[in-house]
Amino acid sequence: MHGIIYARFPDAKIVDLAHDIPPQWPPEAGFWVSRSYPYFPGGTVHVAIVDPGLGTDRDILLVDYDQHVFVAPDNGLLGRLLDDAVGADVFKLDPGCLDSLGIADPSASFHGRDIFAPIAAELAAGRITPGDVGQATRDWTPAWLDEPELHAGTVTGVVITFDSFGNLITNIDAALLKDFEEPIIVIAGLRLPLLETYSKARPGEYLALVNSFGVIEIARAEGNAANNLGADRGAPVVVTT
């Protein structure tokens, strides 16, 4: 993919955000895209491919929003971003435009290289816009995971991913805890206090905190929470008092 992009747009600057997302788990890719894109300059083209529907008739979305462009399979990956993207212009790629872009006979098993990369290069170079190669739509696959539920003094969410330190990252936004005086985070049978930093817990203790992406995270001080709790992606997390 890098080679294709550089061949079409030698001045491109490519940043690899993540390569370790499970191949059948679009929600995690969507999480990282939606939480990370504001740190990039306007005009950035974000390509995200976790594509279990490769080889089917799934569409490809091109989204123009907040001075950024997003390109991804229409499989729920961008569903959460689009839920909050007021004023976004959303397009479905018109396959009939591929020939005009010099994209002929793409393989059946590597659309990242054969379709996504050349389109991203053309977008980044400013030679096309999403509207040039797509048909406007208000119909796309929704996010796989529901938003956290708030009711009866509790918030219920899930683990969306974990990082290289074994910290479990949830989809519970810190803003949902504004009415909790002393929130307790419940996961895998543990009741954890919400602390300010990792250093507020003794080595080996589990804790919860608001991480740098503004969501609840479960950690083990100087340890690995994911390995020791056995809580994987999709595990339920409850905030209570």
- In a domain, residue 141? The reply is no
35 half-sphere exposure, CB direction, 13 A CA radius: 20
Number of domains in the chain: 2
Give the whole-angstrom CA distance, residue 173 versus residue 5.
35
Query: Same domain, yes or no, for 99 and 160?
Result: no
User: What's the rounded Cα separation, in Å, for the pair 18 and 30?
Assistant: 11
Q: What is the mean pLDDT of the chain?
A: 94
**Domain shared by 131 and 181, yes or no:** no
Let me know whether 153 and 104 are in one domain: no
For 95, the domain range is 2-136
Same domain, 107 and 160: no
* Together in a domain, 161 and 129: no
One domain for residues 110 and 171: no
The model's pLDDT over 56-89, given as tens digits with 9 standing for 90+, comes to: 889 999 999 999 999 999 999 999 999 989 999 9
The CATH number assigned to the domain holding 216 equals: 2.40.30.90
Query: What's the alpha-carbon Rg for the chain, to the nearest Å?
Result: 20
Query: How many residues in total does the chain contain?
Result: 241
* 10 plus 128 within the same structural domain: yes
Which of 104, 136, 168 is the last residue before a domain boundary?
136
Q: Which residues contact 34 (CB under 8 A, 6 or more apart)?
A: 80, 81, 84
pLDDT of residue 165: 93
∠ CA 6-43-175, rounded to 5°: 125
- Global confidence as pTM: 0.90
- Asked whether residue 69 falls in the same domain as residue 182, the answer is no
Same domain membership, residue 117 and residue 230: no
Residue 146 pLDDT: 85
**Kind plus residue range of the DSSP H or E element containing 239:** strand 236-240
Which residues share a beta bridge with 154? 151
Residue 29, pLDDT score: 94
Q: Distance between CA 117 and CA 78 in Å, rounded?
A: 18
Report the distance separating Cα 214 and Cα 173, nearest Å.
6
| Number of C-beta neighbours around residue 4 at 10 A | 19
pLDDT tens sequence across 107-160: 999 999 999 999 999 999 999 999 999 999 999 999 988 889 988 889 999 999
For residue 8, tell me if it sits in a domain. yes
Identify whether 144 is part of a domain.
no
Task: List the beta bridge partners of residue 70.
Answer: 46, 63
Cα dihedral across residues 16, 68, 33, 122: positive or negative: negative
CATH number at residue 36: 3.40.50.10790
Q: Are residues 155 and 71 in the same domain?
A: no
